[in-house]
Chains A and B, each alone.
Chain A
């Protein structure tokens, strides 16, 4: 299986990936995301984008979370091939 590292904001709706790290986030944003379970090794799926493109709805640890593109582009994951 071929994999590549991309940012969360570049996933297409329905695609999943495993979190590799976060880079360039403010300390409090990072803290909150970590506490919500967004940490290395966690599998997340981009469920959808809001009608106007932002924010994003993601699925992780059995629940749904919304966050903005501005945070999502600092979260890096290993994209799963969906073929």
Chain B
């Protein structure tokens, strides 16, 4: 027997598996601290998290956090990744040397189902009993020793949030023997066992499948013989006839092949639990019960849901603006510093107006991303997210999606990129695609600067009923409008080219628990970093390009920047598209704004600032703000204001619906693995934006609102 410590710690791979909501992530964070990196599995869009764990100050092993799964009978891309790595079916990740299984102590029976499947894999195994403090509180008494004897592996109770049991767990992982083979603990009925053995042996001997994998695949084949069609050895006539004979025999005996395998595992689990666990008759979370009575109530439930949403938006829209201003002034100071250090010229312009302005444009949104993911993290970790799905599922089912799609759509309010990334939890590819396609219709935080500029300039700040400002209501309406359009389009897609069977919606409602601040903050940290990376790199390049488009060709050194802009490539393009956007009520200056924000919406604001030759909405350099400049601007030929309230509203509607975001295009391309879907998305969104804006502006003009 090789003791585990003999293997080079740098290459020693431990896979962490567990059910969703089993406290796996908290355990992962507690074990690895900040020493982890996040990436993607090649070819698929499932997040890969790896961390290094030290014992006694020395690197002991690498911990790989596999996506949460209820079973190794995978049904979603996430679960397939976990299953394939555990079964050694992939080439991108070597099979782990050891498996660490997170088992929720408050939900032992169902969590142990996955454990029995992992045991079949014949890999060294350590079980961590998570949330064992909660189990104790509920009066559940678990004899870890007895459990360990039955499972044939170490069982360590932990309270990851408080760090209890982690040392024992690390020791168990490093000292468990790497060669201890397990025998499948559960036993199928005689007839089933015989057929299973013969299929397994055939796979092992003829198809050369390693024995543990052959055991697993024999079960898969016997429970659903149609799975044979997806195998590489599907043309093996001996396998096909063996399988057919086995299936016939079992069917003749009246054995339900699909349920028989699942049932034999559960029968074994129940026997183990009877000897290792004692729990009171009503061991259930009373607090969760009481909370749910209110949270899922037909009146209070919706009110609480709205309140939660409102708080989240309040945090994004008002609290986040404070750090946003700090970041803004820091960048302003930086560009002032660079301006004073460098001689005037193209280089200074490039750095100040291209690079710094571009980076500032992205980094300014970081506080909103941080706030959103902080809130989403709290909701997820506390268990509320599942209730939100429970409440909203009916509504989502009307458009052919399910409650799980609601969460990515909610996330898209901050930024469609993480929202689209969050669609990975949706099992059905068509539902996932429909959710991805409509996600950018949800008003993201990059639209906020555009909305606030236009609302600030053109919508009166009067109060309705003394509390609700017309500006606030306008903002809310824009968000609602985007949401309604997203649902309508999802419905249209599900009715046409994404038509399919109604999606499966089987989801656990975990017990409420106090969210772990650590887990939430880690998530915020990971997401923020991903946001800066995805958006920052592309946008830095693009903003330099856009700067060049506005800076060349040169007019003369002392011409005002607005004149320069008018003569630039961007200005010419703005004038060139004027005939096209005139029916929408937009002139060439707005055209420049549209073009400069094709790749990044918030660029509209800086384009307006440049056109009107002021620095930003808050700038008071000469007492004039962009608001004043835009309000005072008149069409030289007619003397009419360039912007009417109707123009501003049309423009905002255009921004609600138009794609205008290169980063989203890049993410959709990555998530769908083809250029087809980003193309479809850009196409339908542009058509929608143009069509509806045209309708609103022309309709409004007819009604005489244009003046």
The one of B258, B298, B397, B508 in contact with A34, judged by C-beta atoms closer than 8 angstroms, is: B258
Interface flag for A5 (CB, 8 Å): no
- When C-beta atoms are compared, the residue in chain A nearest to B393 turns out to be A55
Which residues of chain B are near A50, meaning CB under 8 Å? 296, 390-391, 393-394
B297 near A51: Cβ-Cβ < 8 Å: yes
A28 CA to B510 CA in the complex, in Å? 23
Interface residue tally on B, bucketed by range: 35 or more
Interface residue tally on A, bucketed by range: 20 to 34
A63 CA to B73 CA in the complex, in Å? 21
A62 near B109: Cβ-Cβ < 8 Å: yes
- When C-beta atoms are compared, the residue in chain A nearest to B301 turns out to be A51
The one of A27, A34, A65, A68 in contact with B509, judged by C-beta atoms closer than 8 angstroms, is: A65
A65 near B296: Cβ-Cβ < 8 Å: no
B75 near A37: Cβ-Cβ < 8 Å: no
The one of A27, A40, A51, A67 in contact with B296, judged by C-beta atoms closer than 8 angstroms, is: A51
Interface flag for B502 (CB, 8 Å): yes
Interface flag for B479 (CB, 8 Å): no
Given known contacts A32-B75, A36-B110, A62-B284, A55 and B509 CB-to-CB distance under 8 angstroms: no
B70 near A67: Cβ-Cβ < 8 Å: no
Most buried by B among A30, A57, A66: A66
A48 CA to B510 CA in the complex, in Å? 15
For window 385-431 of B, CB contacts with A under 8 Å fall at: 386, 389-391, 393-395, 397, 402-403
Which residues of chain A are near B108, meaning CB under 8 Å? 62
Which residues of chain A are near B109, meaning CB under 8 Å? 37, 61-62
B394 near A53: Cβ-Cβ < 8 Å: yes
A-contacting 9-mer, from B178-186, B259-267, B490-498, B648-656: B259-267
A–B Cβ pairs within 8 angstroms, 14 of them: A26-B504, A28-B75, A32-B504, A36-B508, A37-B110, A47-B292, A51-B302, A57-B292, A63-B508, A64-B288, A65-B508, A66-B386, A66-B505, A71-B506
- When C-beta atoms are compared, the residue in chain B nearest to A22 turns out to be B259
Which residues of chain A are near B297, meaning CB under 8 Å? 51
Nearest Cβ on chain B to A36's Cβ, whole angstroms: 7
User: Which A residues are closer than 8 A to B by beta carbons?
Assistant: 26-37, 39-40, 47-48, 50-55, 57, 59, 61-68, 70-71
Which residues of chain A are near B266, meaning CB under 8 Å? 37, 39
User: Which B residues are closer than 8 A to A by beta carbons?
Assistant: 70-71, 73, 75, 106-110, 113, 223-224, 258-259, 262-263, 266, 279, 283-284, 288, 292, 296-298, 301-302, 386, 389-391, 393-395, 397, 402-403, 501-502, 504-511
B262 near A39: Cβ-Cβ < 8 Å: yes
A62 CA to B386 CA in the complex, in Å? 17
Which residues of chain A are near B298, meaning CB under 8 Å? 51
Which residues of chain B are near A64, meaning CB under 8 Å? 288, 508-511
Nearest Cβ on chain A to B395's Cβ, whole angstroms: 7
A27 CA to B73 CA in the complex, in Å? 12
A68 CA to B502 CA in the complex, in Å? 11
B507 near A66: Cβ-Cβ < 8 Å: yes
Which residues of chain B are near A57, meaning CB under 8 Å? 292, 296, 390, 509
Most buried by B among A28, A59, A64, A71: A64
Which residues of chain A are near B508, meaning CB under 8 Å? 36, 63-66
Nearest Cβ on chain B to A1's Cβ, whole angstroms: 19
B390 near A35: Cβ-Cβ < 8 Å: no
A62 CA to B110 CA in the complex, in Å? 9
The one of A31, A37, A39, A48 in contact with B73, judged by C-beta atoms closer than 8 angstroms, is: A31
- When C-beta atoms are compared, the residue in chain B nearest to A59 turns out to be B284
- When C-beta atoms are compared, the residue in chain B nearest to A30 turns out to be B258
The one of A27, A40, A61, A66 in contact with B258, judged by C-beta atoms closer than 8 angstroms, is: A27
